Structure 1
Amino acid sequence: MELDVLELDVVAWLHAEGGRLLAVRSRGRDLLYLPGGKREPGEDDWSALSREIREELAVELDPDAFREVGVVRAPAHDQPAFTYVRMACFTASYTGDILPAGEVDECRYVAPADRHLLAPAAQAALDLAVAHGLLA
Structure 2
Amino acid sequence: MELDVVAWVQVTEGRLLAVRSRGRDLLYLPGGKREPGESDWSALSREVREELDLELDEASFRELGVVRAAAHDQPGFARVRMACFTASYSGAMAAAGEVDEYRYVAPGERHLLAPASRAALDLAGERGLLA
TM-score range, shorter chain: over 0.9
Residue 130 of structure 2, aligned match among 122, 127, 135: 135
Residue 59 of structure 2, aligned match among 41, 64, 68: 64
**Cα distance, 1:18 vs structure 2:** 0.6
Amino acid at match of 1:66: F
- What is the CA RMSD across the aligned residues, in angstroms? 1.0
Q: Counterparts of 1:82 and 1:52 in 2: how far apart (Å)?
A: 20
Residue 15 of structure 2, aligned match among 20, 24, 30: 20
What is the aligned partner in structure 2 of residue 93 from structure 1?
A: 88
Q: In structure 2, do the counterparts of structure 1 residues 95 and 112 end up closer, same or farther at CA, with 3 Å as the change threshold?
A: same
What is the aligned partner in structure 2 of residue 3 from structure 1?
A: none
What is the aligned partner in structure 1 of residue 68 from structure 2?
A: 73
Runs ≥4 residues deviating over 4 A: none
Q: Counterparts of 1:125 and 1:105 in 2: how far apart (Å)?
A: 21
Per-residue Cα deviation, 1:29-84 (whole angstroms, up to 9, x for no partner)? 00000000000000010000000000000000000000000000001001347611
Q: Counterparts of 1:34 and 1:82 in 2: how far apart (Å)?
A: 18
Q: Unaligned 5+ residue runs, structure 1?
A: 1-5
Q: Unaligned 5+ residue runs, structure 2?
A: none
Q: Counterparts of 2:30 and 2:75 in 1: how far apart (Å)?
A: 22
Residue 48 of structure 2, aligned match among 45, 53, 59: 53
Matched length: 131
Q: Counterparts of 2:11 and 2:32 in 1: how far apart (Å)?
A: 18
Amino acid at match of 1:115: R
